[in-house]
Every structure is written in C-alpha cells, then in structure tokens.
Amino acid sequence: MKPAPFAYVRPQGLQHALEALAADPGAKVLAGGQSLVPLLSMRLAAPSTLVDINALPDLDGIRVDDTGIHVGALARHADVLASADVRRVQPLVTLALSHVAHATIRNRGTTVGSIVHADAAAEMPMVLALLGGSVTVASTSGTRTIPASGLFAGPLESTLRHDEIALEAFFPGLGAGEGVGFEEVARRHGDYALVGAGAVVRVEGEAVVAAEVGFLSASDVPVVVDVTDPLGGVVSTSSTDRAGELALQHLDPAEDLHATAAYRRQLVRVLTTRVLGAAYDDALGRARGEA
Amino acid sequence: MTTKLFGERVPRVEDQRFLRGKGRYVDDVLVGPGAGGVLHAAVLRSPHAHARIVDIDVSDVLDIDGVHLVWTHDDLSGAMAEPLPLLIPHPQLTHGRTQYALAKDEVNYVGEAIAFVVADDRYLAEDAVGRIKVSYEFLPPVVGLDGARGAEHLVHEDVPGNVAARLEQENGDARAAIASAPHTLSLDLTVERSASTPLEGRGTVARWDPDTGRMTVWTSTQTSTGVRAAIAAKLGMDLGQVDVVTPDVGGGFGVKINHPWPEELLVPLAARTLGRVVKFTEDRREHFISAAHERGQQHQVEVGYDDDGRILGLDVRFWHDNGAYTPYGLIVPIITSTQLLGPYKPGAYRVVFESLYTNTVMVTPYRGAGRPQGCYVMERTMDAIAAALGKDRTEVRSANFIQPDEFPYDHGLIFQDGRELEYDSGDYPASLDKLKALVGWDEFPAFREEMARERRRVGIGLACYVEGTGVGPYEGAHVHIETSGKVKVATGLTTQGQGHATVFAQIVADALGVGFENVEVVTGDTRRMPYAVGTFASRAAVMSGSAIHLAALRTREKVLRIAADALEASEDDLEIVDGVVSVKGTPDGTASIDLGTVAVLSNPLRYAFDEASKAATQFTVGDPGKPPVAEDDEPGLEGRDFYSPERSTFASGMHAVIVETDPDTAEIKILKYAVVHDCGRLINPMIVEGQIQGGVAQGVGGALYERMAYDESGQLVNASFMDFLMPYVTEVPAHIDIDHLETPSPLNPLGIKGAGEAGVIPSAAVFASAIEDAEAPYHPGLGITAMPISPSELFELRQAHPPVEPVETKESS
Amino acid sequence: MSEELVDIRLTVNDVVHALRVPARRLLSDALRHDLGLTGTHVGCEHGVCGACTVLVDGRPMRSCLMFAVSAVDTEITTVEGLAEDDGSPEGRLGPVQQAFVECHGLQCGFCTPGFLTTITAGLKHNPEPTEDEAREMIAGNLCRCTGYANIVRSVLRAAEIASERP
C-alpha cells in the first residue's frame, strides 16, 4: 500500500498553485490529505501531480461576521471545532464537527477539503447544504462562489472544475429564533455514519415557523428536506413522524455491508424525530436566553 | 528463600524497551541510514476468486530501474515448485490440498500469491507488481457454506462435493437417547468468518552469509522451529545452516502459527539468489486477503432432555468452511466437535462434521480455535432448553455440570492432540455461584422492570466453557548461569505480547533463588533452543513454564553439588538466597559462595578474566583422582530439560453480560460484563487479567462488529480497517468484573493451565443469550441463531417477529 | 525513468535531519526507514489504526497520511522523544510511559507508540481528565491485545504522575 509516483509542487503563492493545477489535467490538490492519501496508498487514485497547498499564506483563517462563518481552506477541523466564535455564530457546525472521524484526523483534515471531497457520508457537506452555505473557489481565470445547492453533483463528485482550488467555505450564522440539532448512528464511534441528520428549526413563541432537516448517508449526495409543512407548527411524535415520512420521499438509502436499506429508512425516521426535537428545544432555550 | 514471585503482580521487564520505541519488530530489522542495501519484496496476488492462469507476462517489469528479481511458478524448481506442506495430516482428511508458494496454473482465492518481485524499496516493488500482466480463464467461484454444500461448482475439480474431510465421533447412542427422551429440540446455528487481525501483519527478513554458509531469517511467527525446518527442507539446506529468529511480534492470535507462508520461503530464497538482505512486510490489505481467517461454520443440533433439562442425547452436525486450502488440517473443526461439550456431561453425544472447500482465504486457528463456535452451539442449546421448560438458564446448566468429584472426567472422545478428551480438574458449580454473584443474576429481574419503566430494554446472558490448554507434544528450556551470576534462559516458543520474559523469569527466580532482575529470557531463537513447538493453544505458560521450572531445578542441582563441594558441606544444608549459596543457619558472609563463582568453578578452564574468576581461586572442587571434567559431568553451569505432558490440561470459565438494546435503532450497548476464570494457579495475575480483558474485547468484536464479508464473486468487500470493524475503546465494556477460581492442574509441576485464549471463547454465546433475553418480551419467538449480529440485523429480526406489548413481569430465564 | 528526489529537512525530536526522498515517501516510512526511528509503527496505512501517530507541532497526526515532503517546516515528536532528560543516557520514562508500566497498559507493544504520543498531547490539553475524557482521548487508536481497560487506567495514572513531577 504505497502511492504511485507523482510530480510534487509546494507553491508559496496562490497564483503559482493555480498555474500548477491548470498545467496538468491529472493534477490534484493536497490539503489535509486525510481522505486523499489513503486513496493514493491503495492506488485507487493516481494523480500525475500533487499541488500541496499547505504552504499557501492566509488560508488557515476562521473568521466570523454578522452573516456567518468564513472558514479558510487550510483551517483544520480541530481549529474550527475549538473556536468559541464558531460555536456562538453557528452551533450546528460545532455539533457536527465533533462527529467528524477522530481527533487525530481532525488535527490534520480541513473542513473545506472535506466539503469539496463531496462524500455523501461525511458531515460537513451536509451541514453546508442544510445551512445554505457556499464555497468560494479560484482558478487562473478568477474566483467564483458556488452555493451549496449547486455544489454536490454525485458520489464523491463536486462541481468544482479540475483547475479550481476551494479557498473558503461560508456557513450562514444562526438566525433569530433558530435552534439546531445533530445526531448520527455509526457502527463504531468515529466511523462514517450509517445515517446522520441535522436540523434547523425556527420558532416564534412556541410555534415552529420553519424547519429543515439535512441527511447524510441516506442518498448519494447530501439531501435537505423542508419539513415545515408536515410539522404543522409543532414538534410532537406524530408531527415528526410525518416529517420523517416526507423526508423518505426525498431519500434513497442504499443497502451495504453494514445496513439494509430498510434499516437506514428506520434510522431516517428515528433521527428525524430526534434532531427535530433537539433543534426545537435548542430554539426554545435560546429564545429564553439559555444557550 | 527469596521472596516468592510466583503469583505476584510483577511489572513486565519487556515494557521498558517497548515504551521507549526500542522494540524490534520484523520490519525494524536492519533499517535506518546505516543499513543501506536491504531490498524489499511485493507480491502480485490474484484479483479473482477462481481462475486458470493462462499466461503471465513480466516483460514490462524487467527493465524498471531498481527491480532485482521477478518470479512466477515457472521460476521455481525442486521442492520450492511443489505444494506447500500439509502441516497436520489426519486419516479423515481424505482430500487435503495446499497452495504453491506461487500459484501454478490455477488460483483459488482472491489474494493467492502469483508473482514475487524484489526491488530497491517497497514503492518500486509495488510499481513493478502493477505492471505484470496475467491472463485468466475464469472458473465459477464457490463462496460461502451454502455454495460449498450445494456443490454445483467445485473448488478443486478432483475433490467431489468440495468435501475435504468428514469426521464422526460418538460416545453412547445419541440418536437412540434422543428418540426416547421426554423432550426434544432442534436448532440451526451459524457463525460467520472473522480473523485474528493483529496490528502487525506478517513479515520476513532474510540474510544469506556466503562466508559462513548460513541463512539468518527473522520472521513474525508463532513457531520459529517450524519455519526453520520448512526453510531448510524447501531450500535444500541443512537444518544446521538455517537460523530463525523471532523478534518482537506485534500480535499473533493464531494466524502466525500457520507456516511456512509463501513469503517465508521466497524471501530467503531471494536473499540467497541475490546475495542481498531481502525484506517482506505485509500490508493491511494483504493481511486481509492472503493470511488466514476462521470461525465460519453452520451447525444443526438435535437434543433430547428430561424435565430437569438434563441432556440425555445430543446430536450435532456441522459444516466447516476451510477456505481454499487445508494447511492446518482439521484442528479447528476437531476442537469445535470436542470442546462443544464444555462443562457438561450429556448422556450420549454424537458429532459429525464436514470440512468444505470454498474459493476464499484459507482457514487456520484464530484465538479460541473452534471453541467459540462450539461454546455458542452448546450454550444456545442450553438457553433453548431453559426457554422450552420455562426454567432459569442457570438451573439447566447446573443440572448438566460435571461435578467436582468426577475428575478426571473422560468424555470418551479423541481431542485435537490425538489424546483422550479427559478433563483433569475443575469446579463448575463453584464457578457458576461466583458468576451469579458477580453479575447480579438474581437481582436482574428487578433491574429489568426498573428499566422497562423508562422504556429501556435490557437483557442478561451467560455462557460457560472448558478449554483444553497446554497441548503437547513438548517444550524445552535451557538455563545458563554465567560467571557474572546472571541467568540466561532460553525457550524455543515465541512471544507475541504475553509477557513471557517476565513470567518465565518469575519462575526461574523462584526455582534458583536469584534476583528477578538477573534473569533474562529469550524466546523463539533457534540458535538458543532448537527444539520447540510453538505458541498456540494457550500452551506457553503450561509447556515452557513447566520446562523452564524443570531446567532451573536441574541447574539448581548442579549449583548445589558444586557449592557443597566448595564449601565442604552437605547439599541438604545449603540454600540459595539472592544468588548466594550458603550453609543454612550460618551468619552472613561465612560459608557462602555466589552463583557467579559457582559458575567459574563449573568450568575447569579458568582464565581470570573477571572478578568472579579471581574469587573462585579460594575454592577447590572436583576429585583430583579424576579427569578435570568427570565422565558423568559437563563443563558449565547449565540445565536443560523438557516438559511433555500426557495430555492437555483443561481450564474453564463463565461469562455473563447485561446488554441494552435501543427500541428504535436496535443499537446494542454493554452495561455490565462479568468473568469468572479458572486457569489453575496464576503466575502473574496482572498478566492473566490483561489476557482476559483483551480476549473479552476481541470477543465483543467477534460478536457485534467483525466479519469477513465476501460477495458472490469471492471478493472480500471489507478488506480494510474502515469496514472490518475492530472495536475501539468506545465499543468495549468500560469495566470488566473478574473473579478467579484456582483449581490446580495435577498434570504439571506448577499446577497451571493456559489463559491466553479464554476471554474470547464465550463471546458469541453470551451476547446471543443476552440480546435474545432483551428482545424476547417484545418480539415473541425472536431467536438469535446467527452471529455476529449488527443493529441492522437485529432490526430485521424485529421486523420478522412483530411486536406485542411487553409482558409485565418476565423472569430472567 | 528514475523518480525525482526532493531534498528536505525534517525536525524530529529536536534534531534536524537532511534527507533526499521521492515525493511519495510517506512520513511514516521516512521516519522509520530513512531516519531509523522505528518506534513509530505502521499498522494499516489508511489512517484508521493510529499506530503511526506522531506529534506534528505538538498535535497528534497520522504519519501514514502525510508525505515527508509535506512535513517540512514542522516540529515532529516520535515515541523516541518522549523520555525525560534526567542526565542518564536513556532518560527517565515520561509520565505516560511510566503509567503504562504501572498499569500494564501494553501487551505486544505494537500499537503502543501511537497511544503514547496521543495521550502525551491529550494531557497537555487536558491535564486532569475524567475517565470518560480519558476514553475519548484514546478513541481513535486501535489495540488488539489489551481491551483498552488498562490503557484508560494508564491515562488517569499518567495525569497523576505528571502532576507529582515538578
């Protein structure tokens, strides 16, 4: 299990990195490498050039403002997870990050890298989708911002072009009256989830006025379902059951080694109920000033 | 006497080395900037489960810079071109088959070695492997026991029905006893494949020294002597030319007892051919697909019993998946068929098994070696009888126990070692009492009710086993007291983390009366002890421990003989304390001699190299009328002895677990785990408990997480630690309650029994029992008959057994 | 078709090493085979087992998931760097190492270096862990021998030893 040979560049500036990437159609970007390196070692991927962006300046920032969180391409999961600003501005990001692999992987892996790796079993693509965030990417022809809704094309496939480097992910902050929940069921602690779900619920008084649930490992891309209607303003056993049934209409859970499709559907139902309950309680708690 | 160390929690001497990063595992041999010139091997392995090899084209490899050698079967000759040895033949293994070092004409599992490459480093070797082109003619693969039993296709075209062996044993007339029994039951029970998966895979390094004509091989094995003999035979060398050194081994758990692996022969052959050091270090994917697996079996049970649950007749048929080849003979299914009986004495017993070929990785023993399956079959049967009679599960077991006054107890069967299945000692009723107290068996119904009020499901299970340990034929030991007074001990079996260097030193320190810190133990080095068997079947403490004890006593005899001569005292009046021999009852410093001086005196050649030699000049020994070395004597202060028991010694134990199952997600959580363990006398309780804790964790893996998942084409779809779910700390019980019972074995001088495998034996049984107990009130008829079990599978079982409202009170039966 | 080699400097256990490696050389292999620091073990080469864990700028990382060429500009600590200087040639065992001896936290020793580095960093971050925090600290490392119970005890004991030492 050793990687095939590749050419290696370690640019000190973005322009150089973009040029190196553009110069070789077989090139790939190396950031944290926690997903890429195993693929290389198993020779399931064999890029002709690796563009190592770890020496690029100014990409490791985590910045919050009135609108939300800006996470730079070299910000490690562990730093994002540890950030008090992040927890305050968008607690769903913190909640979900604690489920990303194990601490040692989070020390090296990057949040932006995980997003553009576009694994439907990973937490951060789903969180970006659920929050309606975006990714800013650069190429030699300029930069553009891709909304989460247009980012995930298929299994392990994003809409980044080959010559683009993701510079930053943006997660919108928690809105007024909103609360969040996140839970997943995995075979072992730290494994990819069999199914995971996150929820954002907005309340006015005690009434639910908006609710969305995002799912991972329940389709071949992260899926977000608006469940405001089936909830009918309340979070109750029957309303969340209806939300789960609606969600299942948008999902296509697969059977694999670890779970049957029927079991995954069951987890969708259970987790829908659990995360909506948690998000609702969170919203009420915040409204009362507890959080 | 010095303070006795036997039975003490002595910290391990090997830890210092390991904790400083100074362990020497096989991949660590000859590395670093100063060790240039080591070449690295990689192996082309079959990507197909069953195919004929039509052509192999290596032409793209030959001109790669840094590639030194490419071999296929065509390049092998003589014994190397023949199939690998069948280590343990058996008359009933009528169709035994083994693979070639490199596949000849046909491959029979994904992972079978086809070509061998040696290059400057492993990266280049893998590049080269990727360029070898093989054309195959596909054959239909036989995957899983259903496929093997159906025999629509054959693994080996000359093995009818895919049956390697059929073996039957019977004590009494089981079928008649069942036919006339008041009650009968039938069960179908299956266990899936798993594997040892030590953190370190296989590996071999070889250095050929043309100046001395010797081959030194370092290999990560459970048997140095076995590998040595295989290399000599296969490479056409004299045994005396081959030294095998087993360095530190990063876990074995059974898989490294099989030998020789193809690489264990190809590496030394390449080293001799190239005149260079060659190293093979197996990677993780290779370990999954080209080492060995175990556990896969299907069982059918017929049992007849009376109103008390006493078994009158037991008839078991089972089918054992031996994979593509049978290098290790029938050891695993024979163990299942005999050890299935556990602590019980059925009125009559018949067992029949077939060992079947499939196009999958071959099967050799994995910790427990067939016992986990046997225990699972017997204990599921006990649970089923209890359920049918409405009795407490412990009562039914009690009714069937062999009683303490019935030892030695002969089951009337033949065990894996070809000897009678005769238990030497044990006290099963006492074990059960301890277990019930430890887990809170009688308090459980109240706990279940309390949990049910919180909408939580809990269940309790137990399982009992007996484990034949310390199988023969023998182990040996050599004890040498140097003139420094230091004691060097060698035994031939190998070490994979059991702390042998510590426990064996404890034994020697006690027997010789020397300081523990002055004893150094070497294992698995054929230069130091060429006669040995290996480390398996929980035999190291029993076999080498006993041999070392005997060898130390022999050495002690010689010490006393020489010291008595030197001190002009009677041997009977001498004692050895802290390495000094003295006349009992005399003041310190008078009439005494230290062991180093005795060592000097034992050798008539006395250059005064050191202080001990000078000190020896004050003493005179030997008879001036005889030659310097008397006819019945030898120079040196050494003792060598061997231990060879009549038969195995039988350890036993019982586990109980309380689990919680999530009503919604079917996740399974362990709330309490209790172990009662009887391995006779404990040399070092700290180490025994470590073995139990590790075994339980491995058992949790086997029961709830791990399996080898083959698809229908014979691909192992979870050949990585991503998908083969070895437990992390988060999956194992936070605490294991352990209680010991010590019924000494009468078969060896120390009264000990083996402890290495025990922790893993009852796992499938105890979890099946507890999960079924948790679910039964909610899903009537839900039975756990296939292990391991995942939440997804438990969910599907629930779907198949529609729920009812839970029964208000349910006994823990 | 010789492979291009890259000249790099790696700082390991406070020593700077100059070496020339192919870009694809994994950090784990560079430490073990190029520098001879074989205390770092390789158990899976896909980042799951944790045996190869080293400290990179004080943080535990999988050395099998990094390339040596990408580890320049960092300070690496391996198991060989965990002993404390007490004037003796080998140094005395660090608190985590000492705790492993006392609690029988290792058997075959193969996974141990990854646990030692991980726990050393973990205790810097959280010097007084609860038992649950101790378990969380080691949750990303596999051990096939011990069943982890004694490793958890070792974490707690190491915290005590560290607090007792000046």
CB atoms within 10 A of CB B486: 18
Q: Do C67 and A33 touch (CB under 8 A)?
A: yes
- In tens, the pLDDT along B754-812 reads 999 999 999 999 999 999 999 999 999 999 999 999 999 999 999 999 987 655 444 44
Q: Do B22 and C39 touch (CB under 8 A)?
A: yes
Q: What is the CATH number of the domain that holds A271?
A: 3.30.390.50
In this prediction, residue A144 carries a pLDDT of 98
Would strands B67-71 and B113-119 be described as parallel, antiparallel, or unpaired? antiparallel
- What's the structural domain count of chain C? 2
- In tens, the pLDDT along B163-194 reads 999 999 999 999 999 999 999 999 999 999 99
Q: Do C48 and B721 touch (CB under 8 A)?
A: yes
Say if domain B15-139+196-290 classifies as CATH 2.70.170.10.
no
In this prediction, residue B36 carries a pLDDT of 66
Top-confidence residue, B691 or B419: B691
Q: Do A5 and B127 touch (CB under 8 A)?
A: yes
Q: Which domain holds residue A51?
A: 7-55
Rounded-to-integer distance, Cα C35 and Cα C110, Å: 19
Question: Is residue A2 included in any domain, yes or no?
Answer: no
Nearest to A5 among C22, C46, C60 (CB): C22
Of A172, A204, A226, the residue at which a domain comes to its end is A172
Are A149 and A224 found together in one domain?
A: no
Of A139, A172, A205, the residue at which a domain comes to its end is A172
Q: Do C80 and B21 touch (CB under 8 A)?
A: yes
Looking at CA atoms only, how far is residue B783 from chain A in angstroms?
19
Q: Do B21 and C40 touch (CB under 8 A)?
A: yes
Instruction: Tell me whether the CATH fold assigned to B369-471+646-800 matches the one assigned to B475-643.
Output: yes
Question: Is residue C87 included in any domain, yes or no?
Answer: no
- On whether any CB of chain C is under 8 Å from the CB of A100, the answer is no
Q: Burial, B419: exposed, middle or buried (Cβ in 10 Å; 0-12, 13-18, 19+)?
A: middle
Nearest to C47 among A2, A8, A38 (CB): A38
Contact by Cβ (8 Å): B521, B494: no
- On whether any CB of chain C is under 8 Å from the CB of B130, the answer is no
- In tens, the pLDDT along C62-77 reads 999 999 999 999 999 9
Residue of B nearest to A256 (CA): B717
- What's the structural domain count of chain A? 3
Lowest mean pLDDT among B240-254, B295-309, B625-639: B625-639
In this prediction, residue B620 carries a pLDDT of 81
Cβ burial A217-254 (10 Å sphere, 16+ → b, else e) = bbbbbbbbbebeebbeeebeeebbebbbebbbeebebe
The residues near B618 (Cβ < 8 Å, ≥ 6 apart) are none
- In tens, the pLDDT along B84-141 reads 999 999 999 999 999 999 999 999 999 999 999 999 999 999 999 999 999 999 999 9
Q: Do C142 and B687 touch (CB under 8 A)?
A: no
Residue of C nearest to A43 (CA): C46
Residue numbers of B between 756 and 775 with CB closer than 8 Å to C: 759
Are C57 and C25 found together in one domain?
A: yes
Task: Quote the tokens at residue A170.
Answer: 């943006």
Looking at CA atoms only, how far is residue C45 from chain A in angstroms?
7
- On whether any CB of chain B is under 8 Å from the CB of A237, the answer is no
Residue numbers of B between 567 and 626 with CB closer than 8 Å to C: none
Q: How many residues does chain B have?
A: 813
- In tens, the pLDDT along C9-66 reads 999 999 999 999 999 999 999 999 999 999 999 999 999 999 999 999 999 999 999 9
Of C81, C105, C137, the residue at which a domain comes to its end is C81
Q: How many residues does chain A have?
A: 291
- On whether any CB of chain A is under 8 Å from the CB of C61, the answer is yes
Q: How far apart are the first and last CA of chain C?
A: 56
Are A26 and A128 found together in one domain?
A: no
- In tens, the pLDDT along A33-68 reads 999 999 999 999 999 999 999 999 999 999 999 999
- The hierarchical CATH code for the domain B475-643 is 3.30.365.10
- On whether any CB of chain C is under 8 Å from the CB of B37, the answer is no
pLDDT surpasses 70 at B574: yes
> Residues of C with CB below 8 A from A103's CB?
60, 136-137, 139-140
Are A168 and A69 found together in one domain?
A: yes
- In tens, the pLDDT along B39-53 reads 999 999 999 999 999
Percentage of the residues of chain B whose pLDDT score is greater than 70: 98
Are C64 and C114 found together in one domain?
A: no
In this prediction, residue B622 carries a pLDDT of 83
Nearest to B722 among C32, C46, C108 (CB): C46
Nearest to A189 among C45, C56, C139 (CB): C139
> Residues of B with CB below 8 A from C62's CB?
none
In this prediction, residue A291 carries a pLDDT of 56
Q: Do B15 and C106 touch (CB under 8 A)?
A: yes
Contact by Cβ (8 Å): B726, B701: yes
- On whether any CB of chain B is under 8 Å from the CB of C39, the answer is yes
In this prediction, residue B69 carries a pLDDT of 97
- The hierarchical CATH code for the domain B369-471+646-800 is 3.30.365.10
Contact by Cβ (8 Å): A34, A105: yes
Rounded-to-integer distance, Cα B81 and Cα B512, Å: 50
Q: What is the CATH number of the domain that holds C114?
A: 1.10.150.120
pLDDT surpasses 50 at B152: yes
Mean pLDDT across chain B: 95
- On whether any CB of chain B is under 8 Å from the CB of C71, the answer is no
Q: Do A105 and C140 touch (CB under 8 A)?
A: yes
In this prediction, residue B2 carries a pLDDT of 45
Q: How far apart are the first and last CA of chain A?
A: 47
CA atoms within 13 A on the CB side of C1: 11
In this prediction, residue B610 carries a pLDDT of 77
In this prediction, residue B3 carries a pLDDT of 64
In this prediction, residue C166 carries a pLDDT of 79
Question: Is residue A263 included in any domain, yes or no?
Answer: yes
Nearest to C146 among B15, B693, B730 (CB): B693
Q: How far apart are the first and last CA of chain B?
A: 52
Question: Is residue A1 included in any domain, yes or no?
Answer: no
Q: Which domain holds residue C74?
A: 5-81
Tokens 């969708």 label which residue?
A: A268
Looking at CA atoms only, how far is residue C113 from chain A in angstroms?
14
Q: Chain B to chain C, count of Cβ pairs less than 8 Å apart?
A: 189
Task: Quote the tokens at residue C10.
Answer: 């790696």
Q: Where are the domains of chain B?
A: 15-139+196-290, 369-471+646-800, 475-643
In this prediction, residue B803 carries a pLDDT of 86
- On whether any CB of chain C is under 8 Å from the CB of A188, the answer is no
Looking at CA atoms only, how far is residue B754 from chain C in angstroms?
17
Task: Quote the tokens at residue B258.
Answer: 């099989």
> Residues of A with CB below 8 A from B705's CB?
187-188
Residue numbers of C between 85 and 114 with CB closer than 8 Å to B: 90, 93, 97, 100-102, 104, 106-113
Rounded-to-integer distance, Cα B492 and Cα B227, Å: 12
> What is the band of B586 on the pLDDT scale with cuts at 50, 70, 90?
confident
Looking at CA atoms only, how far is residue B435 from chain A in angstroms?
29
- In tens, the pLDDT along A136-177 reads 999 999 999 999 999 999 999 999 999 999 999 999 999 999
Are A228 and A262 found together in one domain?
A: yes
Are A136 and A42 found together in one domain?
A: no
Are A100 and A160 found together in one domain?
A: yes
Nearest to C61 among A50, A101, A107 (CB): A107
In this prediction, residue B813 carries a pLDDT of 40
Contact by Cβ (8 Å): A74, A165: no
> Residues of C with CB below 8 A from A10's CB?
69-70
- Of A1, A10, A2, which is closest to residue A49 (Cα–Cα)? A10
Task: Quote the tokens at residue B726.
Answer: 């070895």
> Residues of C with CB below 8 A from B696's CB?
147
In this prediction, residue B810 carries a pLDDT of 41
Of A147, A172, A197, the residue at which a domain comes to its end is A172
Q: How many residues does chain C have?
A: 166
Looking at CA atoms only, how far is residue A141 from chain B in angstroms?
37
- On whether any CB of chain A is under 8 Å from the CB of C30, the answer is no
Q: Do B728 and A257 touch (CB under 8 A)?
A: no
- On whether any CB of chain A is under 8 Å from the CB of C149, the answer is no
- Of B796, B757, B761, which is closest to residue B779 (Cα–Cα)? B796
In this prediction, residue B476 carries a pLDDT of 96
pLDDT surpasses 90 at A290: no
- On whether any CB of chain A is under 8 Å from the CB of C95, the answer is no
Q: Do B283 and C45 touch (CB under 8 A)?
A: yes
- In tens, the pLDDT along A206-237 reads 999 999 999 999 999 999 999 999 999 999 99
Residue numbers of B between 656 and 695 with CB closer than 8 Å to C: 686-687, 689-690, 693-695
Q: What is the CATH number of the domain that holds A77?
A: 3.30.465.10
Which subunits have 3 or more CB–CB pairs within 8 Å of chain A?
Answer: B, C
Question: Is residue C86 included in any domain, yes or no?
Answer: no
Q: What is the CATH number of the domain that holds A18?
A: 3.30.43.10
Question: Is residue C139 included in any domain, yes or no?
Answer: yes
> What is the band of B661 on the pLDDT scale with cuts at 50, 70, 90?
very high
Q: What is the CATH number of the domain that holds C16?
A: 3.10.20.30
Nearest to B285 among A42, A185, A189 (CB): A42
Looking at CA atoms only, how far is residue B264 from chain A in angstroms?
20
Residue numbers of A between 29 and 58 with CB closer than 8 Å to B: 42-43
> What is the band of C3 on the pLDDT scale with cuts at 50, 70, 90?
confident
Top-confidence residue, C166 or A16: A16
